[in-house]
Chain A
Amino acid sequence: MNLSALPRPIEILLVEDNPGDVRLTIEVFKEARMQNNLHVAMDGVEALAFLRREGKYAQAPRPDLILLDLNLPKKDGREVLAEIKNDESLKRIPVVALTTSRSEEDILKTYNLHVNCYIIKPVDFEQFMGVIKGIEGFWLTIVKLPDSRT
């Protein structure tokens, strides 16, 4: 049996500083259809360390999908986005901005930095679940992700 042909769990990096939101996301992803590993970085610096496999993240897997909150301490989410999209080895990873900001300016700026899509975090929990399920349904099921094992 070719082990590499077995469906492996999807690796997702969640970059989010609000512990409440982190836990919620984790709980919802638990109910996902596809097997997934949700990794969490609580600020921008940690996120980039994870992506570059620095320090304690030396053995970190390359994520298939990044969920990025824009408002982060230390390094702002927009900066992280810019660095990801400018990094040869990271720029192919789809980044989904998942944030509370509704400002038109933010949306524009973020798309200008080549975010793959921008989602406004719904206030209502049921809707939030719907959004996470939607992300899963679209990005992890319908969409063909590039092979990240490089």
Chain B
Amino acid sequence: MKEKGMRKEKSTPLSSPLEGSEAFQITQLRRELETTGEHLQSVIKEREVANKKLSAANEELQNINREFKRAKEDLQSANERLASANEKLRNRNSELTQIFNTAADGMRVIDKDFIVLRINKTLLNMAGLTSTEEVVGKKCYEAFPGSLCHTPNCPLTRILNGEERVETDVEKKPKDGRTIPCIVTATPFMGSGGELIGIVEDFKDISERKKAEKDLAQRAQELAQQAEDLDRSNRDLQQFAYVASHDLQEPLRMVASYVQLLARRYKGKLDADADDFIAYAVDGASRMQTMINDLLSYSRVGTHGREFEPTDCNAVFDLATANLQAAIIESEAVITHDDPLPTVMADGSQLVQLFQNLIGNAIKFRSQERPVIHISAELMENVRENVRENARESTWMFSVRDNGISIDPEYAERIFIIFQRLHSKAEYPGTGIGLAICKRIVERHGGRIWVKSVESVESVESVESKQRKGAIFYFTIPKSAP
């Protein structure tokens, strides 16, 4: 039978009689063919539709498959990332745990109900425990109590009451009965949503510090006691010096007076020997009187010292030189000073004594030429010349420079000792108390005194050292009272 494009033949109802039954059969057959053809076509169509559906379904499945694959890949890589993040987290955790455990202070985290959430090794040791299980999950006041437990000062209580940070002393009480003095610092412990979970506590063991403080206090007390003893000893010594020299005056007065009376009454009336003897006795007695007076002056630097007040050194200079007028005129001395000299906190009359002694010495111990004396003052910042205070201090450094006989550096320290002289009294008068008094006055004011000899030189460098031999006495006075 022809399949393709079978045209429907126009069926003519009554064509030929011959063809009647055969034509009827053929028409029937044709009709059956058509029907079958139609049937086939619809089946084919159905099958085509079904095919199409299958195809589509297939495609969809393939798409799903592809997506599935992709999703699987994504999952895998997400998994890998997660695994690596996990690894990092584990590392970080162990780092933080390490840091937490190696912290020098004891640390712990407790929650709002006093349950210990975390505890570090240091605190564990402090508590005398070995494993965290003995502590974590238990109440903090049972696991490792202290002096603040159940008191209003308990750090957790205070933080729950709104304080932002608590730092206070506490005595922790480990199981073995000791007490450990600590400083506890507590801060709020927040959860990831910003809610308060509990507190972090840091315990700093200060037993070492407390011991050191105790030792220091004890030492300070010892020193205070020593200072008191020294003070008393000093005062006794001073009183002794004063009383001794004061009480020695009277018998000395007797000796000196009567020997002088002898000299007056009998000089020339006895033999020459007697005259000599009397002369020596008179001389000895009067020297002893001078020494005792000097000793009294020396001890008075302490006993008669007055309170310090602002003292104008220009006025001091004027007064000292006024007192030395006779010697200045006689020696034709030229005495100058820096203009102006400063004002310092001092005992005015003692300062006059000091200037007078130094200038007087400069005149007395002169060389062949007329004495040329200059006094200068320089402000030294942050110099540790100040004997009394260790604090950084501004200090005035004075110098008294002369062109007289210089001083052998070997004796530079000895001259400040009482009655120490470098020359016989025939060469230069005096008992040798002047510089000792100067030293005492300077030291009472918290300063230092020393001497430098100038040996030569026409130094090319400095115009100042045009001067030749001589001595420079330096002394310091701190800017403010000691």
Q: Which residues of chain A have a CB within 8 Å of any CB of chain B? A: 18, 20-21, 24, 27, 100, 123-126, 128
CB distance from A9 to the nearest CB of B (A): 22
In the complex, chain B residues whose CB is within 8 Å of the CB of A124? 256, 286, 289
- Given A100-B249, A100-B250, are A20 and B258 also a contact pair (CB < 8 Å)? yes
Is B254 engaged at the interface, CB distance under 8 Å to the other chain? yes
In the complex, chain A residues whose CB is within 8 Å of the CB of B62? none
Is B299 engaged at the interface, CB distance under 8 Å to the other chain? no
A-B contacts besides A100-B250, A123-B293, A124-B256, 16 pairs, CB < 8 Å: A18-B250, A20-B254, A20-B257, A21-B254, A24-B261, A100-B249, A123-B252, A123-B253, A123-B256, A123-B289, A124-B286, A124-B289, A125-B257, A125-B258, A125-B260, A128-B257
In the complex, chain A residues whose CB is within 8 Å of the CB of B256? 123-125
**Within the assembled complex, what's the spacing in Å between the Cα atoms of A124 and B289?**
8
CB distance from B381 to the nearest CB of A (A): 42
Cross-interface CB contact of B261 among A18, A27, A100, A123, cutoff 8 Å: A27
Which B residues from 261 to 302 make CB contacts under 8 A with A? 261, 286, 289, 293
CB distance from A54 to the nearest CB of B (A): 31
Tell me whether A24 and B293 are in contact (CB under 8 A): no
Q: Number of B residues whose C-beta is below 8 Å from A?
A: 13
Which B residues from 218 to 269 make CB contacts under 8 A with A? 249-250, 252-254, 256-258, 260-261
Cross-interface CB contact of A125 among B249, B250, B261, B293, cutoff 8 Å: B261
- 5 smallest CB-CB distances across A and B, nearest first, come from A125-B257, A125-B260, A20-B254, A123-B253, A24-B257
**Within the assembled complex, what's the spacing in Å between the Cα atoms of A124 and B252?**
10
Q: List 6 A-B contacts (CB under 8 A).
A: A100-B249, A123-B252, A123-B256, A123-B293, A124-B289, A128-B257
Residue of B nearest to A23 (CB): B258
CB distance from B108 to the nearest CB of A (A): 74
CB distance from A32 to the nearest CB of B (A): 15
In the complex, chain B residues whose CB is within 8 Å of the CB of A100? 249-250
In the complex, chain B residues whose CB is within 8 Å of the CB of A21? 254
